[in-house]
Structure 1
């Protein structure tokens, strides 16, 4: 509880949710303009029929206007999400901010692309497994594995390896366990909420509904990361097992 107040989790979750919305959607549109069908991520993020025309128009307009310079601007702007996440994780782990230079830019871009693909890759890759017995087990197992990997990879790469991957695993496990409940709830609630928002308020209603959902996921992401940090740095037996040694965690480790 002290850590939640220290990292200002409510404010940071809202910042990350907003940055995610304004960073990832343009990247997905950019990917679609490079030849991908817009339906592959429209289905993945449950875009209602009323808003698909807006998306298709954006993709068509992007195909006419995106060039090398435009694509670079989109990717550079999208790294604001990575920088916001970096500030959050340095606060969670009590570390100084990693040095920022051109050599570290690939870390920001890698995180943005991984998070963008996270919206659609689990569903796309899980569909071929849905028919395998036992039903629904394999897609959920794949989602669990992907969530653990993402929740470990993102802080590890943004912190430039300042925190060992094994110390990030407890938080990743908690996040993946949380998403086991969040994903079915999302599938049950989000499509209907988006349809209602689109009917009543148009595209702006869809945007606010997505922001609400992203805020919930961001809050869970930061909270489980903090729980993992508490476990990994605890002086007891569990903390020592996570760290792989008897030492206490320090900021220089």
Structure 2
């Protein structure tokens, strides 16, 4: 028994040592968290706000609605737009994503097809249904902005006309992507700054429009700048990722593979958009920044 006690003592001492070190580490981490919360309260508010906004859920819904909007609009625009506009859309998609090979062939099949045959397959009733359902993407973006700013939903009479206007402006932005990225012939040295300015301006206007002008312009600027910078950077990254991923998916799985690739990229984009708008809203409501921008105070209870 003496030998057993002697042999067991080192093991018991080792376990006690590990437990003591684990307890010390836990205590240090708790003290570190408390110190960070005291010195940087914005971190605590941002974390709580991201949880309240339900970032991934909002971004996934927005991506799904964007995809369901983009595909029908793709055929609708191809059926009614003049050939010059369709060629411009092809050039813009080339410049934006750098697609080639099988993906480029599928795009040209739609936008270089006979407009008469597309119009017969689309029809007036189908076009109306596409336009009505496309506003679901606008509504999803509106809900994201309202959650980010803890604002209640705007009335239907106030918000309804804003949904198609938002879609129409974004269609124009997509059409202008090609010449804008090339600096209208001057090159990327001018095109990238112009694209950044456009992205910031459009996301600034997006928040103001979809929030039904219930907030002044200045508090919306931080979110617009963050989103504009992030989307400009992602548009550059897209040329290195999207073409190879699309062609690989088309070769292996056909059109279904392309659907998953596009949807995955859209989810990534929407996560970035949701994160930037939410971070911008939190930052704009920090006391030091809010005094300069005229931001509203935090509500007593967040919107559920």
TM-score range, shorter chain: 0.7 to 0.9
**Which residue among 196, 200, 206 is the counterpart of 2:248?**
196
1:71 paired with 2:127, answer yes
| RMSD of aligned Cα (Å) | 2.4
Q: Give the TM-score normalised by the residue count of structure 1.
A: 0.86
Q: Deviations over 1:146-205 (max 9, x none)?
A: 111121111211111012222111111011121232111101111111111111111111
Tell me the distance in 2 between the aligned counterparts of 1:211 and 1:59. 27
- Which residue does the alignment assign to 2:297? 248
1:93 paired with 2:149, answer yes
- Which residue does the alignment assign to 1:166? 218
Matched residue SS, 1:66: helix
In the TM superposition, residue 127 of structure 1 has moved relative to its aligned partner by 3.1
1:106 paired with 2:161, answer yes
In the TM superposition, residue 250 of structure 1 has moved relative to its aligned partner by 5.4
- 8 A Cα contact 1:82 1:108, kept in partner: yes
**Cα pair distance change 1:188/1:224, threshold 3 Å:** same
The structure richer in helix per residue is 2
Q: Give the TM-score normalised by the residue count of structure 2.
A: 0.73
- Which residue does the alignment assign to 1:205? 257
**Cα pair distance change 1:105/1:69, threshold 3 Å:** farther
Q: Name which of structure 1's ranges 175-184 and 80-89 shifts more when overlaid on structure 2.
A: 175-184
- 8 A Cα contact 2:135 2:164, kept in partner: yes
- Which residue does the alignment assign to 1:15? 61
**Which residue among 103, 107, 110 is the counterpart of 1:52?**
107
Tell me the distance in 2 between the aligned counterparts of 1:183 and 1:94. 29
- 8 A Cα contact 2:199 2:232, kept in partner: no
In the TM superposition, residue 128 of structure 1 has moved relative to its aligned partner by 5.4
Q: How many residues matched?
A: 244
Tell me the distance in 1 between the aligned counterparts of 2:115 and 2:162. 27
- 8 A Cα contact 2:80 2:119, kept in partner: yes
- Which residue does the alignment assign to 2:42? none
**Cα pair distance change 1:72/1:95, threshold 3 Å:** same
**Unmatched 5+ stretches in structure 2:** 1-46
- 8 A Cα contact 1:232 1:242, kept in partner: yes
Bigger Rg over Cα: 2
Q: Deviations over 1:100-146 (max 9, x none)?
A: 13x6432000112223343342223333534x2xx412110111011
- 8 A Cα contact 2:75 2:118, kept in partner: yes
Matched residue SS, 1:160: coil
- 8 A Cα contact 2:78 2:110, kept in partner: no
**Which residue among 160, 163, 178 is the counterpart of 1:123?**
178
- 8 A Cα contact 2:223 2:278, kept in partner: yes
